[in-house]
């Protein structure tokens, strides 16, 4: 009897499981917050992805063989934007529940993670984050205590609203949702990128300050390098050049911690040598 039960347990189960409830989907949405908890350079978000989706897989597959195969597939390399991952989770869970072909499920997961990673960066990291953060920083500089509170509330209302709504939409729509958003994906990404770059440009001009405190003497004439040379070429030239240099190093996979250290050393060395203007503006 035990042998028959074990043999049955090893067989593939083609019976469809009941649909996930709203409560279960909400639970999965909260688990998706741990997507990057085990981030590594071999499988990126693979471990966090499996952790996030595991209760849904256990609901879809009632025998060990099916569950084992599914878990093994979902432990593979995975990397996307953490705020939009629930959309992929919903699609994959719908396919797992319907016992779709494993190769098809892998293909959908891999095909979606790249585009949504780019769209998420444009929407959240290049648009929402600098926009809300810039407004909050401006309020905080003026002494308004509501600045950081506003940032936390507004950013997370949009963040969690997107996360959970995409979980419900992705699961209910199943694979048909891909065709619905495929046509507009590039337009959304391009528009959000343009807005984000504009905001970032404004933030660079507003918050990144590099003032050269150096003068050249030509007999009785004294030339201010900052005002007479750099600002005459282009106001804010040095902040722009330095920001682009940091961006270039980031694209070259340089560690952000190293870039922060370089920035600190650059400022200290420049102030020590009397080349860069130090201190805080009294009007700030």
Residue-wise pLDDT for 177-225, tens only, equals 555 555 555 565 566 567 667 766 776 777 777 777 767 766 666 677 7
pLDDT bin (cut points 50, 70, 90) of residue 5 is very low
- pLDDT tens-digit series, residues 32-86: 999 999 888 778 899 999 999 999 999 988 888 889 999 998 998 899 999 999 9
Confidence category of residue 167, pLDDT binned at 50, 70, 90: very high
Q: What is the pLDDT of residues 83-127, one digit of tens each?
A: 999 999 998 998 888 887 787 788 888 888 888 888 888 889 888
Q: Whole-structure pTM over 0.75, yes or no? A: no
Name the one residue in this structure whose structure tokens are 């600098």: 130
Distance between CA 104 and CA 107 in Å, rounded?
A: 5
Residue 278 pLDDT greater than 60, yes or no: no
């Amino acid at each position: 009897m035990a042998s028959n039960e074990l043999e049955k347990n090893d067989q593939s189960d083609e019976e469809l499981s009941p649909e996930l409830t709203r409560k279960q989907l909400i639970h999965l949405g909260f688990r998706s917050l741990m997507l990057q908890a085990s981030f590594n350079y071999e499988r990126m978000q693979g471990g966090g992805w499996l952790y996030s989706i595991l209760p849904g897989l256990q609901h879809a597959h009632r025998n060990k063989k099916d569950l084992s195969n599914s878990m093994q597939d979902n432990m593979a390399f995975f990397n996307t934007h953490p705020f939009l991952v629930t959309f992929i989770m919903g699609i994959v869970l719908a396919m797992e529940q319907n016992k779709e072909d494993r190769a098809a499920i892998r293909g959908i997961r891999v095909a979606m993670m790249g585009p949504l990673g780019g769209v998420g960066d444009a929407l959240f990291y290049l648009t929402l984050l600098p926009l809300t953060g810039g407004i909050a920083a401006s309020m905080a500089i003026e002494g308004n205590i509501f600045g950081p509170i506003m940032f936390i509330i507004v950013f997370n209302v949009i963040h969690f609203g997107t996360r959970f709504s995409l979980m419900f939409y992705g699961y209910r729509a199943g694979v048909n949702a891909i065709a619905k958003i495929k046509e507009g994906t590039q337009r959304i990404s391009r528009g959000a990128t343009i807005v984000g770059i504009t905001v970032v440009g404004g933030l660079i001009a507003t918050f990144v300050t590099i003032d050269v405190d150096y003068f050249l003497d030509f007999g009785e004439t004294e030339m201010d390098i900052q005002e007479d040379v750099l600002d005459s070429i282009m106001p804010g030239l040095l902040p722009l050049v330095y920001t682009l240099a940091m961006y270039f190093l980031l694209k070259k996979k340089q560690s952000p911690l190293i870039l922060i250290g370089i920035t600190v050393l650059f400022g200290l060395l420049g102030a020590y040598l009397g080349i860069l203007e130090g201190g805080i503006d009294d009007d700030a």
